[in-house]
Chain A
Amino acid sequence: MKTDVLIIGGGVIGASVAHQLAKYNLDIILVEKANDICMGTSKANSAMIHSGFNIDGGTLKGQLVLKANKVIKQLCQDLNVGLVKPLGSITVGFEEKDLEKMKKTMENGIKNGIQGMKLLNQKELHEMEPHLNPDSKYGLFEPETGIINPFEYTVALAENAVINGVKVLLDTEVLDIMIENKTVKGVKTNKGDIETKVIINAAGLYADKIAAMVENIDFEIKPRKGQYFLYDKKWRDILTYTIYSAPTKVSKGMIVVPTIDGNILAGSNAEAVDDKTDLKTTTQALDQIYTSTISHLFPELPRMGDVITTFTGLRASSTNEDFIIEPAKTVKGFINVAGIQSPGLTSAPAIAEMVEGLVREQNMNLDFSAKVNYQKGRKPPIMLKDLSYQERTALIEENPDYGEIVCRCESISKGEIIDAVHRPIPATNLDAVKRRVRAGMGRCQGGFCGPKVVAILSQELVISPLEVTQKGNKSFVLTAKNKELSLDEGDRNYEKISV
């Protein structure tokens, strides 16, 4: 296989770069080692669009987030991606020293060009958020913060890229990079070699590993683990804005934030870990997040019960803490996009634009003429929840699958799930379906719809239910057909638990 530009990594950065470069007459391939795109840092984060009020405007990430903030609304409109912006945020403080910090943060925000920030006294604070802990005293309001669904956003960027000719290869892991005469030649993957003129390293947590295939590097990706609680939609009305806790000794400022789908998300702590696959939640961290932040800010939120799920995300933070967006120092045609931690989701469009500039500077004889049939948008998936009853009826008449509700918690129809399996980036496992259409995302967590979605995947992908996975690879849902195990004695272990 041969291409002009090869993007390593199907997270929000890889997808944004693909989306950006797809405007030109370039051959582009995006490779992703997982079974779906948006499987790393992009899928487990605070799902916020940052305004940049609390970020140092002098850093690269500061510059990019401020820039991206100006274009993201239009981008989401073009791609039919849900975005709530502005929503606004309130940083909440309990002590006088918090107020001092807030004043400094406000100065920083003003310096970054954020308008409309305001310090709140206790009365104003509790008028704006009546469910806050009555002991909270100080607030800093900032109007520009927004919220987004990171899966929808990443998938939309990648789908637009595919519509404009980008090839996305899933389950494809880069094993080595081929270099000739100090110039990129191609990559070796588990699915074969791909020749390319330019490589974009958007490998997230593994960006250091990929970069080190090319030259000696002076950075390392040190994952910072963060754990989250996701609350049932019935708690949606407990807050209006994104709530930051004032930084304390134990936490560097956590959030309680509404999600675009109407849940409440709360977290996350920050714990440096060595294992890039460590997505475990721990009781200790969850207890600490709950006590120090969640119940401290909103005493009504429970520790268990209405918690739909808890999960872990790994921030792809680099050892120097800023974004690293630069060409390799000794090899031509290789660009690192590394260390993209928060606010990476927000910064993605500005990062992609910057990467385009760097690709052009490589002078690799690429055709940067505009694609004639370029499509700015994408046909959005049909989402029944956005339609009026009349529109739904018309749709069901056309295709009765839209009248068959499969996921009862989120009211998702069979038609929407079948669509997800056949989109430009197909959803081929339970979690991929869940990220596309929310089937299984609700309070029963797929208890009722799981077997039905397995049946739909089996039918649409023409595979046995035994081959259907939770999230690709060997994450099978089922093991055998009835009677198969009782007939086959096998070499199973029949030991019982003994303590």
Chain B
Amino acid sequence: MKKLAYDLVIIGGGPAGLAAALEAKKNGVQKILICERAPYLGGILNQCIHNGFGLQYFKEELTGPEYASRFIEDVENSDIDVKLETMVMEILEDKKVIAVNRKDGMVQIDTKALILAMGCRERTRGAITIPGSRPSGIMTAGTAQSYVNLEGYIPGKEVVILGSGDIGLIMARRLTLEGVNVKGVIELMPYSTGLIRNKVQCLDDFDIPLLLSHSIIEVHGKERLQGVTIAEVDKNLKPIEGTEHYVSCDTLLLSVGLIPENELSNNLGCEMDKVTRGPVVNEKRITNIPWVFACGNVLHVHDLVDNVTQEAEIAGKAAADFINNKMNKEEKDVIITHDNNIGYIVPQHIDALNNTEQMIKFFLRVKNPDENVRLIVKDNFDKTLLNFKKSIVEPGTMVTFNLPREFVTKDTSSIDITISKEQA
């Protein structure tokens, strides 16, 4: 078996992997390898031909491929090695990565550090157990996007979309532009789970109905899908009897959530967060394994690629510090706790004290939409470290904030984050 050696191996050549590689390079890592399964870099951005990318990071509006190409060009102009159509099969505890491709066959890559940037996958029909028959014409919104935008084929003529996740909303507009009748989007929750701008620009602007608090309770058709039965759900999300309604359609797209793709991380023994379904990390995006870092959608599902890039830069810089022995050795574990309406927070804990970065970047998601709330950060002495107002919070949009590192002292053992109604 062929053997290679690198300072840093990055699994995944999507937005997270690309930004992490460039940042690590910038911080002095010599030999970097990106392993990418697809025949091209850029990951899922390649099939996201709509615009709306880069507003935060580049302060301009780009399409997915345009956003990706800015990083791809930089990688191509650097001495970062890339192996395309290369699938990582296994990560071994002694810092070895086993990969396979057409040219090398099975290849063993020794490395000093590893960045997990494998992204996520879509939740399937099975995972939400929609009952009924099993005809063709049922697929995830991302699979449909791949057929339309990469292969040049339309999956159906009359489409119902289950779930108001961003990919579903984007595909509602994309298919409408292709002459498909998108009959509506069905959402189980009483609110849209995607970005507000996607609801406005992809549904409202095209008169596509969004049915909140509805679910699909049966699919019909033996060969190709013929229709679905929808029903309204009560506040426990159970279908309300008597509200059933048959909708004929030949295609059902599912946009019911994304799941970080952590099979490699699990097998390696990374500690996982049950809510994010990604590794538990500290502020430098280091997992419980000191030489393994994680960023992007493999860590937690992001709303905007801009946030992925920023997070990947944290991981890339940290991996460089680790490789160059610049990582602070004095470790102290500060636990992050949070209140009921916060679904998750990344990072889950803070480790090092004497670091060069001024700011600790937090990403969190709320469970339920709310208005006029305050985000309050307190330490274990009940001292308020941050306190700011948010006029709207909703599950589809991540809340991000920076905590100045100096606020974490040698006596800090925990930090509590709450989002609650503003006191009048």
Contacts and interface: CB of A to CB of B under 8 A. Distances in A.
Interface in A258-279: 277, 279
Interface in A466-499: 466, 469-471, 473-488, 492-499
Interface stretch (A124-132, A145-153, A403-411): A403-411
Given A234-B266, A451-B147, A475-B223, A466 B136 contact: no
B205 to A, nearest CB: 14
A396 B160 contact: no
B132 to A, nearest CB: 5
Contacts of A473: 223
A277 B184 contact: no
Contacts of A394: 105
Nearest to B225: A475
Contact of A283 (B133, B156, B217, B245): B217
B122 interface: yes
Interface residues of B, number: 74
Contacts of B134: 279, 311
B102 A493 contact: no
Interface string B146-170: 1110111111111010000000000
A116 interface: no
B218 interface: yes
A484 B2 CA distance: 48
A408 B38 CA distance: 11
Task: Pick the most buried of A304, A308, A403: most chain B CB atoms within 10 A of its CB.
Answer: A403
Interface stretch (A21-29, A69-77, A245-253, A441-449): A441-449
B154 A485 contact: yes
Contacts of A308: 124, 126-127
Contacts of B180: 485
Given A396-B106, A404-B101, A447-B142, A477 B155 contact: yes
B363 to A, nearest CB: 23
B343 interface: no
Given A281-B131, A286-B131, A497-B230, A482 B106 contact: no
Contact of A447 (B2, B140, B156): B140
B169 to A, nearest CB: 15
A481 B122 contact: no
Contacts of B178: 482-483, 485-486
Interface string A350-392: 0000000000000000000000000000000000000001101
Given A396-B102, A408-B37, A445-B124, A470 B136 contact: yes
Interface stretch (B207-215, B298-306, B347-355): B207-215
B421 interface: no
B369 interface: no
Interface string B76-89: 00000000010101
Contacts of B247: 497
A445 B179 contact: no
A307 interface: yes
Contacts of B103: 400, 403
B408 to A, nearest CB: 35
Contacts of A281: 129, 131-132
Interface string B117-139: 00001101111110111111101
B87 A411 contact: yes
A252 B247 CA distance: 37
Contacts of A493: 158, 181, 248
B385 interface: no
A429 B181 CA distance: 27
Contacts of B135: 470, 475
Interface in A299-315: 303-311
Closest 4 pairs (CB-CB, A-B): A470-B136, A486-B179, A485-B179, A393-B105
Interface of A: 229-230, 234, 277, 279-283, 286, 303-311, 389-390, 392-394, 396-397, 400-401, 403-405, 408-409, 411, 430, 443-448, 450-451, 454-455, 465-466, 469-471, 473-488, 492-499
7 contacts: A280-B132, A309-B126, A411-B87, A451-B147, A478-B155, A484-B154, A496-B184
Given A478-B154, A485-B180, A497-B160, 20 more contacts: A230-B126, A282-B218, A283-B129, A283-B131, A283-B217, A307-B129, A309-B125, A310-B129, A311-B134, A393-B1, A400-B102, A403-B104, A430-B136, A444-B124, A466-B153, A469-B136, A475-B135, A479-B157, A485-B157, A492-B158
